Amino acid sequence: AASNAAAAATKAVPPPASFDSAIRPHLAVSLDQPLLPGPTIPTMPSIRTPNVNMNVPNIDTSAFRAKIVKIVMAIVASDVFKVAALAFCFAFSLSLLSKSGISVLPSLQRIPQKFSNFWKVIKGTTSRITEKRFTKKKSGIPMTFDDNVNDGWGTCTLKSRKRVGKSSFDQFEFTLPLPDNMLPLDLGQQISLCCLDNNNHVAKGEFYPYVSGKQPKLGSFSILTPNYDSSTDNDFALGSDAANFARVLRSDLKVGDEIALKMGAHKLDYRGQYLPVTDMLYIACATGIVPVMEQVKAVLPNGSSSVKSVSVVWVNPATKDFDVTAEQLEKMYFQHSTKLAVSCIVDNLQTNTVEDNAEITAALPDFTAGTMAVLAGPPEVARKTRAYLISRGYPEDCICVL
């Protein structure tokens, strides 16, 4: 297995430069960095006081406050609180309706859905505050890649393969050399994977790491690949090279085999003149949602970037394919309902185009200064969607294709 990865790395041919430019410029704005540094607290002048020993014990109140917050959050999340809140809102609404003279029966038909969404927003806001206060970001050891050894290639091991929900996508998980290793990837950067098939031919693909939870796992990483019935559909979704690598993973390799990997290309580039970037439009098709999710996580928290609003349009050929990350995306929406807009639309963009679907075109905002559009998914879909956005008034240098 080790020789397989080494041989594949030796045979691998460096990928050609992107069609945009062979030289990657620095981003004019870093989407995952704070817009301003933290506030500076001025130093107050010291005040001399008499040296009086009151024998007052030094009490640490931070732990006490944290415990109180946890208790309050537990009460808010309890079923008892939910029932009480819903009952109060229901009674209050009936009271208002009866006083206003409006017919109560038609209004009652809309109450359950409104209350459901209202409660989800409250719950999402609560969980956002809780995660911000009590969730610590995992810190691991970045995996090292030496350009002077094996041309910068390292190794990982195939750990598992599973179908994601009822979708058409497979998740492949790989272990890194150390249990605390993490991939030192920038936002919008791919990983290159390489191996030999059963005929000793090199199979190579570029992928974005797939994170199914809040944070990446230490010591491992995953990728997401389509597994459609037709090989033509798989080629269309990933491109021929990546689709062939996914085929080799499914049919030729087994758990425990080693695979060569190295850091891939940076794809998140903004060359526009409208700074700062304040509005993000993400259009994802199929597995294109993978890099989009990581970028949305980076720009949503208040104060994390200059971005004020985020729109995500996710298109899949079948409803079942939203199983990949729909639950996580819905949770993010209710946590940031005033900043994030999400549209999940069923359409086959292999045979249709974006402009053919009125629901998609309605979900795409018109261009305003400070808007950046990011396209992710099948190369042909991204090419046609880019042309459509340009026809809608989007400047070419404000559109990024992942």
Question: What SS3 class is residue 150?
Answer: helix
3-class SS of residue 222 = strand
Sites in the chain below the pLDDT cut of 70: 1-138
pLDDT tens-digit map of 45-70: 444 434 434 444 454 556 656 666 66
DSSP string spanning 283-342? EEEGGGHHHHHHHHHHH-STTSSS--EEEEEEEESSGGGGGGTHHHHHHHHHHSTTTEEE
Angle at 141 between CA 150 and CA 34, to 5 degrees: 110
Q: Where are the strands (E) in 61-146, listed by range?
A: 141-142
pLDDT given for residue 143 in this prediction: 92
Residue whose tokens read 């340009």 = 390
pLDDT digits (tens, 9 = 90+) for 69-84: 666 666 656 655 555 5
The phi and psi torsions of 142 (rounded to 5 degrees) equal -60, 130
Q: How many other C-beta atoms are found inside a 10 Å radius of the C-beta of residue 123? A: 16
What tokens appear for 151 in the block?
Answer: 């041309």
Q: Residue 92 in 3-state DSSP? A: helix
* pLDDT at residue 327 in the model: 82
